[in-house]
Amino acid sequence: MPQLESLRGVAILLVFFFHADVSLSENGYPVIGTWVSPLAAFVHAGHTGVTLFFVLSAFLLSRPFLAEAKGGPPVSRARFLARRALRILPLYWLAVIFFSWLDESNASMLAKAVPHMLLLDSFPGATVRMFGYSDVWWSLSTEAQFYIVLALCTLLLRRRFDRGVLLVLLSAYLGSYFYLASHNLSPELWVNLFGRGPAFIIGVGAAWFYETFGVQIRAWCVRRGVARWGGGDIVLGALVLALGYLLREVVFMGVHPAEWLWHAWHVYESLLWASIVLVMLLVPLRLGSLLTNRVMGIIGILSYSLYLFHFPVLFEILRRCRVAMPEAFLGWTAISFATVLGCLALALGVSVLTYLLIERPVLKRKARIAD
């Protein structure tokens, strides 16, 4: 699905420029209490790219299990988890070992590396933070939790009684989530599967909708000539604009206050991203090439490597630039913007190397493990 590969590219670029924005600010989040434009909100709240990654992951990985529930071929949970491990662990472990060696904190390399390698980052206090290196690793821990829960919960889709049990469990989780989210959700729950579960659930729901109604919606769009009058582009633009205004509210509140006081905003965010995914897959777009193109597709292919290595590149380069020219690197200036683009080029270069040398050989091995 080239649309989804390109959306991966969108997700990593959002995360990259968000981290650049944070690195260029004096106190981390310079626009709290300021109403920014919906377009600027995608930079100041670019951490929304992580939610997009979660929605895409749930959408893609749940489809074989949904097909199994409808009488399709059975899915081996062991092979599924083996494929997931091959996808994320080799490059991640290499990054953990390298940055544990590079980190200058007093903890031993073993004490720093092992908890991260065990994917414990989304459990506060379980790992040693390596500032500038490990700050994005929590999402991989959350992803791994989703893989296990997906493999187990989909076992309950096979029989009617089991589906009832799954519905009860899902209702209990959502009830607990919304109750805690409305009573100041604890920071310990922000960055694990409990706090980010709605994104995965909505991604699975989008996959079910796609498999159930996709053919009919495509046929309806063709009969109605939706592409001729740009109806799909209007809907997609409206969804992007709505997401921009939602992120604008988050920027005004501040990233951490929004997580503390209004964590349920991630539900609306996930619904909008899932709707964008479905529109891009199901509705003809006259301007679709602006998002789905070769450049974004390549960035999407490199997105995992870029996700692991972009923050250290930004951290190391911008930290030194701020020491040398503090005024030029306090906020977005012509010099800082050019430097950030240089960081992006360097991070892409590193990602190409790690993809060719590590990811692609492992992906070929992964492809030999049948679902």
pLDDT in tens, 13-61: 999 999 999 888 866 666 777 888 999 999 999 999 999 999 999 999 9
Nearest to 340 by CA among 315, 306, 323: 315
pLDDT of residue 28: 60
- 319: domain range? 2-367
The predicted-structure confidence for 195-216, as pLDDT tens digits, reads as follows: 899 999 999 999 999 999 989 9
Q: Which two tokens stand for residue 111?
A: 């004490």
What's the chain's average pLDDT?
88
Nearest to 144 by CA among 123, 161, 160: 123
pTM: 0.92
Q: How many domains does the chain have?
A: 1
Of residues 365 and 313, the one with the higher pLDDT is 313
Nearest to 57 by CA among 203, 181, 197: 203
The predicted-structure confidence for 100-159, as pLDDT tens digits, reads as follows: 888 877 778 888 889 989 999 888 788 888 877 888 899 999 999 999 999 998 888 878
Question: Helix or strand or coil: residue 328?
Answer: coil
Backbone φ/ψ region at 283: left (φ over 0), alpha (ψ -120 to 50), beta: beta
Q: Does the structure show a pLDDT above 60 at 371?
A: no
